[in-house]
């Protein structure tokens, strides 16, 4: 697991295959959540302690969302990749985002979207609300 934020790729720079997969998953996740009625506020927001994949609004609730994309479950499900430590980091990232944008929502929720995109076969998207 990376603890330092990944370097921002320069615009137009070549992405690695892992980065391409991640970006693809995030795009799918954003579309999926939009269809569910959530509003995307921010994507790939970075600060000195890390990156938030998606920031959304679900009614009066601000949603900070982590997207995990995998091509197979051979090394565990995407769900398992979100550890309690990762959730703790998402929580402090959410605080940073609120501070930076001077937003005071009624409620803040941490979600994850797991995208399983096997080499052949249909893509599976699972949205898990309210990580604790």
Partner 1 sequence: MHVATACSIALVGAEGHLIDVQVAVSQGTVGTFVVGRPDASLHEARDRVRMAINNSAQGPKDTWPATFRVTILLAPADLPKSGTHFDLAIAVGVRAACDAVPASALLGTVFIGELSLSGSLRPVAGVLPMVIAASARGIRRVFVPESQAREAAMVPGMEVFGMRSLAQVVAELRGEEVPDAAPVAPPVRTSLLPAGRGAAELLDLDDLDGMEDAKYALEVAAAGGHHLMLNGPRGAGKTSLAERLPTILPDLTTDQALEVTALHSLAGLLRDGDGLVHRPPYFAPHHDASKASVVGGGTGRVRPGGISRAHHGVLFLDEFPLFRADVIDALRQPLESGEITLARGDATATFPARSMVVLAANPCPCGNYSGSVDTACTCLEPARNAYRRKLVGPIVDRIDIWRDVEPVSADAGHDAFAPRVDSATVRARVERARTAQARRYDGRSWQLNGAVPGPVLAREWPLELSGQRLLDDRLRVGSLTRRGVTRVQRLAWTVADLRGVERPGVGEARLALDLRTAAPLSADDIRQAG
Told to check if 82 binds partner 1 by CB under 8 A, we report yes
* Euclidean distance between CA atoms 41 and 69, whole angstroms: 21
Out of 37, 76, 107, 118, the only residue in the binding site for partner 1 (CB under 8 A) is: 76
Told to check if 130 binds partner 1 by CB under 8 A, we report yes
Told to check if 9 binds partner 1 by CB under 8 A, we report no
Q: Which of residues 87-106 bind partner 1 (CB under 8 A)?
A: 87
Between 6 and 129, name the residue whose CB sits nearer to partner 1.
129
Q: How far is the CB of 78 from partner 1 (least distance, A)?
A: 8
* Euclidean distance between CA atoms 99 and 92, whole angstroms: 11
Helix (H, G, I), strand (E, B) or coil at 92: helix
Told to check if 109 binds partner 1 by CB under 8 A, we report no
Q: How far, in whole angstroms, is CA 82 from its chain's centroid?
A: 10
Cite the DSSP H helix spans in 36-83.
Answer: none
* Euclidean distance between CA atoms 126 and 65, whole angstroms: 12
Residues in contact with partner 1 by the rule CB under 8 A: 73, 76-80, 82-84, 87, 114, 126, 128-132
């Amino acid at each position: 697991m990376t603890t330092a934020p990944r370097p921002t790729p320069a615009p137009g720079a070549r992405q690695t295959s892992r980065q391409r997969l991640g970006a693809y998953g995030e795009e799918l996740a954003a579309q999926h959540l939009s269809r569910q009625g959530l509003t995307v506020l921010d994507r790939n927001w970075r600060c000195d302690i890390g990156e938030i994949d998606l920031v959304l609004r679900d009614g009066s609730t601000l949603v900070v969302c982590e997207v995990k994309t995998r091509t197979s479950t051979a090394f565990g499900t995407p769900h398992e990749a979100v550890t309690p430590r990762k959730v703790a980091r998402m929580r402090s990232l959410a605080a940073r985002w609120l501070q930076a944008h001077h937003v005071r929502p009624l409620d803040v929720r941490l979600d994850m979207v797991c995208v399983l995109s096997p080499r052949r076969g249909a893509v599976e998207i699972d949205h898990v609300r309210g990580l604790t």
